[in-house]
Amino acid sequence: MSKRHRGRVTGDPVTYQIPMPAGGVQMETFLPWTLVRRGLKQQVVTPLDAPQEFGDQARRERQVRKVPQDTALMRVLGLAHHWQRLLDQGRFDSMTEIAQAEGIDLGQVSRMSRLAHLAPDVVEAIVSRNLEVGVSQLLRGRLSASWPAQREALAVDQSGHRTAGAVGKVLQHDSQTTDIQGVEVTRDYACRTRVP
């Protein structure tokens, strides 16, 4: 078998009945399969038209793989809330101590910790994936402490859904902007459409 086809057996599922000398029957089942590498481990994937129990197992494995994984933004939100809890409990006295303990730059820790003060409905929208916003967009932008201002900047209503007609509205940056026919171009070359 060539390297290209190694770990793959194709064909139709078949069950063979082999008669035994004592009158019994030995059954052998052939199932097509594919060996797939998932990270460091290998998994056997069976096709959908395999016998029922194998098909159910394959379906369950596919559903587990389709479950959304944690995004970088959700990890940063979790860290921000964890650090805030450590400060509230008195385990650390300042962000400087947290930065030293985590081995992260103090500026990065400060920017990340601001996310602990997001409005609860904004956090809910991020977690439920109703709000498409990136980590860099939240960390680089000027984030207001006022929850209504956060909702307006991120175009989210109080129920955690995007507001109508607010597509393209983003956080303001500290960089200089130039208005070119309804498109805002910043010094860092990020383009955003303006919402009237």
Same domain, 137 and 178: yes
Q: How confident is the model over 164-189, as pLDDT tens digits? A: 444 334 433 333 443 333 444 443 33
Alpha helices by DSSP H, the chain:
52-66, 72-89, 95-102, 106-113, 120-127, 135-140, 147-154
> What pLDDT does residue 16 have?
80
Nearest residue to 116 (alpha-carbon basis) of 138, 93, 132, 97: 138
Task: Extract the tokens encoding 71.
Answer: 């995004």
pLDDT tier at 96, thresholds 50, 70, 90:
very high
Note down the domain range covering 96. Answer: 70-117
Question: Do 161 and 101 lie in a common domain?
Answer: no
**Crossing angle for the helix pair 106-113 and 72-89, nearest 10 degrees?**
90
Residue 88 sits in the same domain as residue 33: no
**Spatial distance between the Cα atoms of 184 and 182, rounded to a whole number of angstroms:** 7
**Is 162 found in the same domain as 94?**
no
Does 74 lie in the same domain as 138? Answer: no
Residues 123 and 150 in one domain: yes
pLDDT of residue 4: 55
Q: How many domains does the chain have?
A: 3
Q: Same domain for 124 and 195?
A: yes
For the chain, the average pLDDT equals: 72
Question: 101 with 153, same domain?
Answer: no
Query: What is the Cα 77 distance to its own chain's centre?
Result: 12
> What is the tens place of the pLDDT at every residue in 107-145?
999 999 999 999 888 888 888 777 778 888 888 877 788
Among 106, 167, 91, smallest CA distance to 131 is for: 167
The last residue of a domain, from among 86, 102, 117: 117
Query: What's the pTM?
Result: 0.50
Residues 147 and 193 in one domain: yes
Q: Are residue 112 and residue 123 in the same domain, yes or no?
A: no
Instruction: Reply yes or no on whether the pLDDT at 95 is more than 90.
Output: yes
Residues 53 and 126 in one domain: no
Q: Are 46 and 112 in the same domain?
A: no
